[in-house]
Amino acid sequence: MDIPDTGIRISLDVEQHILSGVSEQSYQLSTPILQQAESAEEGIGAAEITLALTTELADHWLAYGAISNHSHGGESSLDIDQGFIHGTAQGSALQGFTLRIGRFYSSAALYNDQGHTGLLFPTAPLIYQSLMGGELKDDGLSVGYSITPNTKITFETFAGDNSLSGQQAGNKFSQTHTLSLDQSIEMETWGHLDTKVGYLTSEQNYQSENSGHSHSTDSDLVYQLSGDIKQWMLSALWQKERWQVSGEYFIRDINTDAQTDSQILQIQDKSSGFYGLVAYQIFPEWVLATRYDRLTTDIDTYGHQELITSFGLPVSKTPENLTLLVNWQPSDNQQWSLHLTQPKDLWQDSSSNDLYGGLSYQLSFGGETL
Q: Domain-by-domain residue ranges, the chain?
A: 8-368
Q: What are phi and psi of 129, to 5 degrees?
A: -60, -40
Beta bridge partners of 247: 236, 276
Q: What is the pLDDT of residue 25?
A: 64
- The answer, yes or no, to whether residue 275 has pLDDT greater than 50, is yes
Q: Are 66 and 49 in contact (CB under 8 A)?
A: no
Average pLDDT, the chain: 89
pTM of the model: 0.92
pLDDT band with cut points at 50, 70 and 90 for residue 213: very low
Most confident region among 25-29, 57-61, 184-188 by mean pLDDT: 184-188
Q: What is the pLDDT of residue 172?
A: 65
pLDDT band with cut points at 50, 70 and 90 for residue 214: very low
- The answer, yes or no, to whether residue 171 has pLDDT greater than 70, is no
Percent of the chain with pLDDT over 70: 90
Per-residue three-class SS string for 327-360:
EEEEECCEEEEEEEEEEEEEECCEEEECCEEEEE
- The answer, yes or no, to whether residue 349 has pLDDT greater than 60, is no
pLDDT band with cut points at 50, 70 and 90 for residue 111: very high
Q: Are 225 and 206 in contact (CB under 8 A)?
A: yes
Question: What is the maximum alpha-carbon separation in the chain?
Answer: 64
Superfamily classification of domain 8-368: Porin (2.40.160.10)
Mean pLDDT of 347-351: 50
Mean pLDDT of 257-280: 95
- The answer, yes or no, to whether residue 274 has pLDDT greater than 50, is yes
